[in-house]
Structure 1
Amino acid sequence: MPEPPAPPAPARAATGATIRLENLTKRYSGSAVPAVENVSMEIRAGEIVIFVGPSGCGKSTTLKMINRLIEPTSGRIRIDDEDVTGIDPVKLRRKVGYAIQSSGLFPHMTVAQNIALVPRMVGWPKSRIRNRVEEMLDLVGLDPGEFHHRYPRQLSGGQQQRVGVARALAADPPVLLMDEPFGAVDPITRDHLQDELIRLQHELHKTIVFVTHDFDEAIKLGDRIAVLRERSQIAQFDTPEAILTNPADDFVSGFVGAGAALKRLNLTRVRDVGVVDFPTACVDDPLQSIFDALRSGTANELLLLDRHHRPYKWLRRGDLMRAKGSLARAGTLVHDTVTRDATLRDALEAVLTDNAGRVAVTGRRGRYEGVVDMQTLMNSVHELLEADRLEAAEHQHTLEEQRAGRTRQEQEGGT
């Protein structure tokens, strides 16, 4: 029997939904105190909210109650005003994306089968599922032709996490829950996955609730951060800027840690500073044309791109003199790149790692987009530090005026 035609795609994808937690509590039998106690908060549609707090404070438990992987003891969870505490939890989980540490992919399924899992469960036609798998792979920066039939064991840790995010988004849920999804990968891969999530959010506008123990990650990713004490009690729920500049108490200050001004480098993106063009050539270009470009150019260096337009090697004039008709041994391999969604801190670390004082900027699938250099980054750092200095001086002036006002009141009251 022929398969029925796929329904027409919606005019636009599902965007985020408002989440309201109302007096949410979780008690485990045998425990003297609740794991989560009387938590209430509103998470606005389309924002990324980060839960951060010490180990064992209940942040993952709170997250898992949103899709009822853990059933709340009392309280309410509302998603776009629908009380989800009384509906079928299995149906709920098909409407809420969920990504965890180490991706959670099924090892016996291919990449395509993993991504197709929830769309297949909710009854999408095969043709629509097939198109969606390719769309999701492209969205997370993986070539569908290359990765469609691979198994998780054939992927790097970063690639597995990308597939895990693709699977979580495959059925187009308005809400995405992420429980320390990047905690098991190396720092460089983690930075790139964070950048990828920011890029995806610019396109998709989902409501994302993200658990981490890393405050720097929280600053980089969050529209707002909920700093949680034991039992998920909210110490402060505010923007990264507000928490960095005005922590609510000593507990929050402990999470901010030293160097709050420098942590603000995590709030500014590479896209907010100058990304400049740089001389480039392709590995397929004739060696003589590359030599001519270097010899005639004002710079003594160019960036060699591979066949997929990705940064490959930095080439200097002296390198070509030693090339002897081949680029195989010429130049220096590109080890670090950043995306436009990388923070200034990411870019500064990459530039400092490379003594030449610049780093290549890439877009989707690692394609070259430009270069950001040390001078640009240092100018931005100085601007941030100066802004902090002025803000601190203004704050001190306000405190002095308040103290003077109290002194006058006391003197007037004593006369």
Structure 2
Amino acid sequence: MPSGSSGAAGSAAGAAASGAAIELHNLTKRYPNSAQPAVDNVSMEIRAGETVILVGPSGCGKSTALKMVNRLIEPTGGRIRIGGEDVTDMDPVKLRRKIGYAIQASGLFPHMTVAQNIALVPKMVGWPKSRIRSRVEEMLDLVGLDPGEFHGRYPRQLSGGQQQRVGVARALAADPPVLLMDEPFGAVDPITRDHLQDELIRLQHELHKTIVFVTHDFDEAIKLGDRIAVLRERSHIAQFDTPEAILTNPADDFVSGFVGAGAALKRLNLSRVRDVEIIGYPTVRVDDPLQQIFDRLRDSGSNEILLLDKRGRPYKWLRRGDLMRAKGSLARAGTLVTDTVTRDATLRDALEAVLTDNTGRVAVTGRRGEYTGVVDMETLMNSVHELLEADRLDALAHRHDLEEARAEQTHAEQEGFTGEAKA
């Protein structure tokens, strides 16, 4: 799930355990007094280091299937192999300590600090205190939270997005090869969800874990998954393939229903901001002298400049008229930057941000929110047009293939009819 960042987190991640393959063989769950199984003979192979998304309608058993992998729900039948080891009969508590688990609304313990939450599993498995302390700081940095600022906070003192980041940090703290995620971003607002998705993509490119992720949101599945398993009732697999293959060639009407309208626009979720041109833009900082800001705007040849805060994060778009009215202070001048994207954001995220911001461009930021460049509307629209043209050519080729197939069938039928007539 994009290019990794550098620095301490990146180097620490280099020594982390990579993912492990998961094999499900005829996995079944039956509940007492239920006529049909909740999960019925599901078999699936997930490659090491792969992100697989389980998506399907409510009640199809996708969360039940996920929870059987770490045996929070015990299977009625079938086998589970992780890294080649059959874990079906393993002590479930020991198994869960080897598998990261992140859920909706983070699941943090409210009476524990952020550090205590993250340290929970490493402490259970007997890590020494010095190693745990170092790991907590490492994990906070990895998910983009300042260890000095968040170490001693309690969950109630965090925003929903920050809680989810801590939840992911806790799930990864003991360096498990497998991470299970059950609709982890379903309880946050859309903008925060987009940023959390981007963060997970970045983390996966650094850590290479095996991730199994449950969602009901097909757009989220396209954005995050290396492969997507579209599930019918009782977790029967309707299609298990790459996002691009499902978008361009859905297996049947059921899968097409999940794809929905606008497949070309959905394919914008397959391209990342880092895949297009990120351009520089004239910037100043809030603590720069006002005359220096005037001079920078004049020398740039632009009618607009981007004001950064003291941490180098996008803060306001400033126009010439704003500066003329500033009267020695930038407090009320300019237009606040309402949204940004990272290099790991999808082009669809970037397009939505541009349309929301009404500036014709969106600022691109690094893992700490620092400014790195902008992507403009022209670049995004060129990408949309390329996708639409590719879809048009694919449709023409598909129509041509159908016509050839019909012609061959008609010819074969005519030959058969002629042969019967001669007989």
User: Normalising to structure 2: TM-score of the pair?
Assistant: 0.95
In structure 1, what is the equivalent of residue 190 of structure 2? Answer: 187
Match of 1:195, SS state, is helix
Cα distance in structure 1, aligned partners of 2:252 and 2:149: 51
Q: Deviations over 1:29-79 (max 9, x none)?
A: 111110001000001111110000010100000000000000001100000
Cα distance in structure 2, aligned partners of 1:80 and 1:326: 61
The reply on whether 1:174 has 2:177 as its aligned counterpart is yes
The reply on whether 1:353 has 2:353 as its aligned counterpart is no
Cα distance in structure 1, aligned partners of 2:127 and 2:312: 36
Cα distance in structure 1, aligned partners of 2:24 and 2:36: 20
1:168: how far off?
0.3
Of 251, 255, 258, which aligns to 1:252? 255
Cα distance in structure 1, aligned partners of 2:125 and 2:311: 37
1:206: how far off?
0.6
* 1:11-410 equivalence runs, <5 A: 12-410=15-413
Cα distance in structure 1, aligned partners of 2:20 and 2:44: 14
Cα distance in structure 2, aligned partners of 1:378 and 1:168: 39
Q: Which amino acid aligns with 2:313?
A: R
Match of 2:88, SS state, is helix
1:11: how far off?
7.2
1:360: how far off?
0.4
1:106: how far off?
0.3
Q: Which amino acid aligns with 2:342?
A: T
Q: Is the 8 A contact 2:23 2:46 kept in 1?
A: yes
Change in 2 beyond 3 A, CA 1:252/1:323: same
Match of 1:366, SS state, is coil
Cα distance in structure 1, aligned partners of 2:133 and 2:81: 32
Runs (4 or more) in structure 1 with deviation over 2 Å come to: none
1:95: how far off?
0.6
1:406: how far off?
1.1
Give percent identity, aligned residues only. 85
Cα distance in structure 2, aligned partners of 1:287 and 1:150: 38
Q: Which amino acid aligns with 1:132?
A: R
Match of 2:34, SS state, is coil
Q: Which amino acid aligns with 1:133?
A: V
Q: Deviations over 1:72-119 (max 9, x none)?
A: 011000001100011111111111000000000000000011001111
Q: Which amino acid aligns with 2:82?
A: I
Match of 1:86, SS state, is coil
Q: Which amino acid aligns with 2:400?
A: H
In structure 2, what is the equivalent of residue 6 of structure 1? Answer: none
* 1:3-18 equivalence runs, <5 A: 12-18=15-21
1:238: how far off?
0.4
Structure 1 gap segments, 5+ residues each: 1-8
1:344: how far off?
1.1
In structure 1, what is the equivalent of residue 7 of structure 2? Answer: none
Match of 1:131, SS state, is helix
Cα distance in structure 1, aligned partners of 2:297 and 2:262: 42
Match of 1:85, SS state, is coil
1:329: how far off?
1.2
Q: Is the 8 A contact 2:14 2:207 kept in 1?
A: no
Q: Deviations over 1:389-414 (max 9, x none)?
A: 00110011111111111111112222
Q: Is the 8 A contact 2:316 2:334 kept in 1?
A: yes
Q: Deviations over 1:269-294 (max 9, x none)?
A: 11111111111111122221111101
Match of 2:37, SS state, is coil
Match of 2:162, SS state, is helix
Cα distance in structure 2, aligned partners of 1:149 and 1:136: 14
Q: Which amino acid aligns with 2:397?
A: E
1:10: how far off?
10
Cα distance in structure 1, aligned partners of 2:110 and 2:37: 36
User: Normalising to structure 1: TM-score of the pair?
Assistant: 0.97
Q: Is the 8 A contact 2:322 2:333 kept in 1?
A: yes
In structure 2, what is the equivalent of residue 3 of structure 1? Answer: none
Cα distance in structure 1, aligned partners of 2:330 and 2:101: 45
Structure 2 gap segments, 5+ residues each: 1-11, 419-423
Q: Which amino acid aligns with 1:54?
A: P
Cα distance in structure 2, aligned partners of 1:213 and 1:273: 29
Cα distance in structure 2, aligned partners of 1:186 and 1:303: 26
Change in 2 beyond 3 A, CA 1:262/1:411: same
Q: Which amino acid aligns with 1:106?
A: F
The size of the alignment, in residue pairs, is 407
Cα distance in structure 2, aligned partners of 1:309 and 1:356: 20
Match of 1:236, SS state, is strand
Q: Which amino acid aligns with 2:24?
A: L
